[in-house]
Amino acid sequence: MERKTVKITIDGRLLEVEEGNTILQAGRQFGIHIPTLCYMEHLTPYGGCRICVVEISQDGGKPFVDTACTYEVKDGLVVQTQTPRIIRARKMLAELLVASAPNVKIAQDIAARMGLLKVRFPMEDNRCVLCGLCIRMCYEQMDGKALGFAGRGTGRKVSMPFNTRSETCRLCRGCDYVCPGVIVPCHGVKEPGELCGRCVRLDDMPYCCPEGTFGCFCDKNPL
């Protein structure tokens, strides 16, 4: 059966997309880039990092800001991904992100892509960006319920319920696989001829999961 389509406008381009898609998915189908952090295909959109914010207006109404990864397309939506308001917001979000986790590669990448040259906040050194990918991966794709968020506000962190490895955890390493905090950030220019590739190699990792959150695999395992 054919699925219904709707017509939306993104950055001035009139697009016809299947119903049920989000603005982010629609944009990607047509090569319109919207940056993301906590989004991953095949996992439920979470709407936590807010990096993917866009301006949306509906039925000619006043534009409002919402996240492209959670907002479903509707006939007649007009979306702007690059307005001054959005650029300014994303830049500030990137600054907040990189100030909190300067040694996480994706935070650096996003900050660099937003053209950030200076961070005006005191730096911290968190390894986890609280994107929740690990939790959703575990729950939705691996049928495990081994991870969850604990704590509130700035005290929020990923943890195993009751600090013990759940019986549903099969050590599949799905969490490790999706975690942006596991990727080693680039350490800069090498000597000519030297190969690096640290960011994709697994043998040379200073740590596997952020602060032992997944608590399962390596000899640093606290459990």
Partner 1 sequence: MRKIKTASDLEKWRQDIIKKQKRDEIVVSVCGGTGCHAYGCKKVRDQFAKAIKKNGFMDKKIRLRFTGCRGFCERGPIVTIQPQGVFYQRVQEKDVDLIVSETINQGKIIDRLLYEDPNTKRKIDSEKEIPFYKAQHRLVLGKNGLIEPTKIEDYIGVGGYQSLTKALFEMKPEEIIEEIKTSGLRGRGGAGFPTGKKWEDCRKAQGNMKYLICNCDEGDPGAYMDRSLLEGNPHSVLEGMIIGAYAIGGSHGYIYVRHEYPLACKNAEIAIKQARRAGLLGKDILGSGFDFDIEIAKGGGAFVCGESTALISSIEGRVGEPRSKQIHTVTRGLWGKPTNLNNVETWANVPLIIEKGSKWFASIGTEKSKGTKIFSLVGKVKNTGLVEVPMGITLNEIIFGIGGGAKNGRQIKAVQTGGPSGGCIPASLFDLPVDFDSLTQVGSMMGSGGMIVMDEGTCMVDVAKYFVHFLEEESCGKCLPCREGLKRMGQILDGITEGRGDEETLMLLEDLSQVVGDTSLCGLGKTAPNPVLSALRYFRPEFEAHIYQKKCPAGVCTSLIQYSISEDCTGCGACAKVCPMKAIEGEKKQIHRILTELCSKCGSCKDVCKSNAVIVQ
Kindly list the residues in this chain that would bind partner 1 in the complex (CB under 8 A).
45, 47-51, 53, 65-67, 70-72, 85, 88-89, 92-93, 96-97, 99-100, 120-122, 130, 148-149, 151-156
**Which is nearer to ligand FES, 54 or 160 (by Cβ)?**
54
Q: Please give the Cα distance from 187 to 92 (Å, whole number).
A: 24
Backbone φ and ψ for 141, nearest 5 degrees, come out as: -105, -30
Q: Report what 36 binds from ligand FES, partner 1, ligand SF4, none; CB cut-off 5-8 Å by kind.
A: ligand FES
Binding mask 105-134 for ligand SF4 (x = CB under 6 A): -----------------------xxxxxxx
Q: Does the protein bind ligand SF4 through residue 210 (CB under 6 A)?
A: yes
Using CB under 6 A as the binding rule, whether residue 50 contacts ligand FES is answered as yes
For the range 196-199, what are the long-range contacts, defined as Cβ-Cβ under 8 Å and sequence gap of 24 or more? Answer: 199/105
Of these partners, ligand FES, partner 1, ligand SF4, none, which one is at the site of residue 210 (CB under 5 to 8 Å by kind)? ligand SF4
Nearer to ligand SF4, 144 or 181 (CB): 181
